[in-house]
């Protein structure tokens, strides 16, 4: 009598093909990333390309850690935006500040982490681990931001998305004058209508320069309430974007329900700001919702230390941040973002056709109107 095969032995048999000089990156991920964090990275690539990039899904991304100084804005984030694979972003202010160096033609250099920082300080060289740049890069970037925020359009309270959109327009113009092309995430996000928010706008050199200009009477101020409500509105509009439609003289065509996806690089405040959109909708505004549909995080943080960066999608379910029925569609990849992001980007570009950009910045007023209309029906007011 044949032995019954355990239900736990239904996974693909481990027997990968040998890696050769002609093995593509997609083949490497699919066939050779078999176990441990390699397998999680494979699952991340496949979740992103096979589910999160479907037309009905709105993809929000959070950025933490010094990614743009390492050139990842140019090599990975900009290609993702151009392919329509990222629809809105929450970033640390530092990533956007350092991104601007590239857009205004200021050089960053490869360095070493074992050089004396006392020696570097004497040489007026600033270090981000193994990235070096001249101290004048900071001063020139500060001067750029102080100059543009003197403009009339900045003299008011605004969301950080509006602020970054206006800044992106200026960086885009500076790139044009310098003969540069697609070096700045801010500039490309402006061009493609991708709203970028910062959860802690005072926690960067951009915010420091805004504060300095305020001492001179500048009226620019960031409105955190606008950020909280606009980001919640983006998610609600994404979830309500399904339904059915009927063209003139034609039968009604049913659409797939709208879905919301979270692509989290690192953790910290941007991670929470991305995920808290659902508690804002459900808990605070009293609008009927169940949580984000897809959760993909790249992190090196552990969940048992109490830090948010290690908080799991299961924990997020308890807050209403993630739809409990969608937990199978959640991947936490314990890999350095500087390793995972280029691989996920290359895999996505190789295996999924581009999507039409959603241009969510242009839809902010409509999304806010939807949020307000549903809040008016709520008993939580």
Task: Give the residue ranges of DSSP H helices in the chain.
Answer: 25-32, 36-47, 72, 78-82, 93-103, 117-122, 135-148, 160-178, 185-192, 205-214, 224-239, 268-275, 277-279, 313-318, 337-351, 364-376
- Cβ neighbours, 10 Å, residue 352: 17
Output DSSP code: residue 6. Answer: P
Strands, sheet with 109-110, edge to edge from the N-terminal-most edge strand: 109-110, 131-134, 125-128
Would residue 239 show up in a list of annotated catalytic residues for this protein? no
Indicate which residue of 183, 271, 321, 358 is catalytic. 321
CA separation, residue 82 to residues 296, 322, 356 (Å): 20, 27, 9
Q: Give the DSSP H or E segment for 63.
A: strand 57-63
Joined tokens for residue 19: 């890696």
User: What is the set of active-site residues?
Assistant: 321
């Amino acid at each position: 009598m044949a032995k019954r095969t355990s239900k736990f032995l239904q996974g693909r048999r481990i027997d990968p093909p040998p890696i050769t000089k002609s093995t593509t990156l997609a083949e490497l991920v699919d066939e050779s990333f078999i176990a441990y964090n390699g397998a999680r990275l494979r699952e991340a690539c496949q979740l992103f390309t096979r589910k999160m990039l479907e037309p009905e899904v709105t993809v929000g991304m959070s950025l933490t850690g010094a990614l743009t100084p390492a050139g990842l804005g140019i090599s990975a984030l900009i290609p993702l935006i151009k392919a329509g694979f990222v629809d809105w972003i929450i970033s640390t202010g530092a990533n956007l500040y350092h991104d601007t160096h590239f857009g205004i033609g200021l050089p960053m250099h490869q360095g070493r982490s074992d050089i004396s920082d006392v020696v570097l300080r004497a040489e007026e060289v600033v270090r981000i681990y193994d990235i070096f740049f001249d101290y004048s890069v900071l001063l020139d970037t500060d001067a750029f931001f102080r100059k543009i925020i003197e403009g009339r359009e900045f003299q008011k309270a605004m969301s950080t998305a509006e602020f970054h959109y206006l800044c992106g327009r200026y960086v885009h113009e500076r790139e044009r004058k310098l003969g540069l092309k697609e070096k700045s995430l801010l500039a490309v996000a402006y061009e493609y209508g991708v709203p970028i928010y910062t959860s802690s706008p005072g926690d960067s050199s951009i915010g420091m320069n805004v504060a300095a200009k305020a001492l001179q009477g500048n009226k620019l101020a960031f409105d955190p309430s606008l950020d909280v409500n606009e980001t919640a509105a983006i998610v609600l509009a994404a979830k309500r974007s399904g339904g059915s439609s009927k063209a003139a003289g034609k039968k009604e065509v049913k659409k797939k329900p709208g879905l919301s996806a979270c692509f989290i690089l690192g953790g910290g405040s941007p991670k929470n700001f991305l995920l808290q959109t659902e508690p804002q909708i459900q808990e605070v505004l009293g609008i009927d919702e169940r949580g984000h549909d897809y959760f993909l995080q790249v992190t090196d943080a552990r969940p048992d230390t109490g830090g948010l960066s290690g908080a799991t999608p299961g924990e997020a379910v308890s807050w209403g941040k993630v739809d409990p029925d969608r937990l199978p569609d959640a991947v936490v990849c314990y890999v350095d973002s500087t390793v995972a992001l280029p691989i996920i980007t290359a895999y996505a570009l190789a295996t999924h056709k581009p999507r039409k950009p959603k241009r969510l910045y242009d839809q902010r007023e409509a999304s806010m109107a939807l949020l307000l209309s549903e809040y008016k029906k709520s008993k939580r007011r």
